[in-house]
Amino acid sequence: MTIHPKTRVGHIHLKVTDLERAIDFYSSTMGFEVTMRYGDQAAFLSAGGYHHHIGLNTWHSKGADPAPIRAAGLYHVAFVFPDRPSLAATLQSVLDSGVALEGAADHGVSEAVYFNDPDGNGIELYVDRDEKDWPREPDGTLAMVNRALDVDALLAEVT
């Protein structure tokens, strides 16, 4: 069995400890729009008017400690941007809010930055390179790399 090639990830739903803090981070810092609230227990946010890309809830996690780093669970969620300037603008907002980067990488196929939300959930923001520019082995398979990303050069694209 092979999954249909047009299948995509529709949304993420994160357990958070403080709903208002999480809403503020994902809306004010990251720029997502709140599309719906479910009382004081859950909220749904999106980009571009979609019903939701992110669900946030406190159903099992209100006031809890962050998940331990050495445990199974979500490593990070990745948000793909249409171009470098839009990635740079969101990254600038994240940095301006005082969030520290955990890493930044040029993977050959994409450029990515990594950090955590207030509950310790890992976040990746990235932009893909054009598929024709992806590095490949002689047999055509991908040859992804893990080089340092020039974050200053990326931020210079903020318009």
How far, in Å, CA of 54 to CA of 112, rounded?
A: 20
Three-class secondary structure of residue 48 per DSSP? coil
CATH for 7-62, options being 3.10.180.10, 2.60.40.1180, 3.40.190.10, 1.20.1440.230: 3.10.180.10
Best CA proximity match to 115, nearest among 94, 129, 96, 97? 94
Q: In this structure, what token pair is assigned to residue 109?
A: 């196929």
Structure tokens at 152: 């200053």
The CATH number of 75-159 is 3.10.180.10
Per-residue pLDDT for the chain (159 aa), expressed as one digit of tens each? Answer: 998 899 888 899 999 999 999 999 999 999 999 999 999 999 999 999 999 999 999 999 999 998 888 989 889 999 999 999 999 999 999 999 999 999 999 999 999 999 999 999 999 999 999 999 999 999 999 999 999 999 999 999 997
Is the distance from CB of 114 to CB of 76 less than 8 angstroms? yes
- Residue appearing with tokens 């809403």: 23
